[in-house]
Amino acid sequence: MKKNKSILLSAPYILWMLLFTLIPLGVMVFYAFTDPDTGAFTLGNLRDLGLFLPTLGTSVWYSLLSAIICLLLGYPVAYFIAHRGAVAQKILYMLIMLPMCMSFLLRTLAWVGLLETNGIINVVLGKLGLGTVEAIGTSGAVILGMVYNYLPYMILPLYAIIVKIDNRLIEAAEDLGCNGLQVFGRVILPLSVPGILSGITMVFVPAVSTFYISQKLGGAETMLIGDIIEKQFKTSNNPNLGAALSLLLMLMVLVCTGIMNRFGGEDEEGGVVV
């Protein structure tokens, strides 16, 4: 009886989420299928998307690459943190969290100051007599920006998983004759797969849709899908094409995260990390 009543508590929430997540997506689909000038139904916006497919490909490629780099860099760090004492763990965890709370716009801007032709890194390199690096405006700089911004999103879920791995399992593997590498490959790595998958998702999704990083660190050649969407809304004033592009981006992300979930098996409701 009590249960039935408390179910009612979820009703306003469901209503709210329908109103402000599902219906907006519906409006977006509506815009994607209407003509910017006449407001009539059209497939023209979808046809125009053909031009942007290579850009979408570039965005996916960059963000996958940065997700993999994040994984390679983040895994040892997460592993290291997970094997500290309780207090050290808390401190290190906090130090990983801290950058996430600071303005990502300003932190990315600092990279511009570091990487510019006459930037800090080049000044230091010049003083050491090592010549200069023309980094800004390249795809490398964009990927660096993505790795820098989203690395904590990789480390935190990895840490959350690794710290839960039962030490007795590792001991058992060792007792059964595994060497260090085998323990890692056969026990630790398979057990941390859920963390790896959620980390990759958490890096990939914001990276694939970013526009600020490519605007600041990229050059003339590194336009990403996020830039184009932003332009449709903020300068070209073609929200219909922008909506069509967003739809494409959303479907693609949905499929990518779907693939992740397939690999990762059933992750129940409480799978929140950060």
Q: Which of residues 183-222 bind another protein (CB under 8 A)?
A: 201, 205-206, 208-209, 211-212, 216, 218-221
Kindly tell me which residue out of 35, 61, 113, 166 binds another protein, with binding defined by CB under 8 A.
Answer: 113
x/- site string to another protein, residues 235 to 264, per CB under 8 A? xxxxx--xx--x-xxxxxxxx-xxx-xx--
By the 8 A CB rule, do 207 and 63 touch? Answer: yes
The residue assigned the tokens 């249960």 is 3
* Minimal distance, residue 177 CB to another protein, in Å: 19
Q: How many residues interact with another protein (rule CB under 8 A)?
A: 129
Q: Does 24 bind another protein (CB under 8 A)?
A: yes
Among residues 53, 88, 130, 189, which is the contact residue for another protein, using CB under 8 A?
53
Q: Does 164 bind another protein (CB under 8 A)?
A: no
Q: For residue 120, give the nearest of 129, 130, 111, 109 by alpha carbon.
A: 111
Q: Is 61 in the site for another protein (CB under 8 A)?
A: no
**Residue in 41, 51, 130, 132 binding another protein, rule: CB under 8 A:** 51
Nearer to another protein, 48 or 191 (CB): 48
Contact residue for another protein among 35, 41, 61, 76 (CB under 8 A): 76
Interacting stretch for another protein, rule CB under 8 A, among 125-133, 165-173, 187-195, 227-235? 227-235
Interface with another protein (CB under 8 A), residue from 52, 62, 150, 153: 52
103 binding another protein? (CB under 8 A) = yes
88 binds another protein (CB under 8 A): no
Ramachandran angles phi, psi of 266, nearest 5°: -90, 110
Taking the complex as a whole, the smallest distance from the CB of residue 20 to another protein amounts, in Å, to 4
Cβ–Cβ < 8 Å for 149, 108: yes
Asked whether the beta carbons of 60 and 208 are under 8 A apart, the reply is yes
- Which residue among 35, 41, 54, 132 contacts another protein (CB under 8 A)? 54
Q: Does 233 bind another protein (CB under 8 A)?
A: yes
Q: How far apart are CA 223 and CA 124, in angstroms?
A: 30
109 is an interface residue for another protein by CB under 8 A: yes
136 part of the interface to another protein, by CB under 8 A: yes
C-beta of residue 132 within 8 angstroms of C-beta of residue 117:
yes
In whole angstroms, what is the distance from residue 265 CA to residue 263 CA?
Answer: 6
Write the CB contacts of 117 (distance below 8 Å, at least 6 apart in sequence). 132, 134, 136
Q: Which of 38, 40, 85, 106 binds another protein (CB under 8 A)?
A: 106
For 5-57, give the DSSP string. HHHTTHHHHHHHHIIIIIHHHHHHHHHHTB-TTT--B-SHHHHHGGGGHHHHH
DSSP secondary structure string for all residues of 178-224: --HHHHIIIIIHHHTHHHHHHHHHHHHHHHHT-SHHHHHHB-TT---
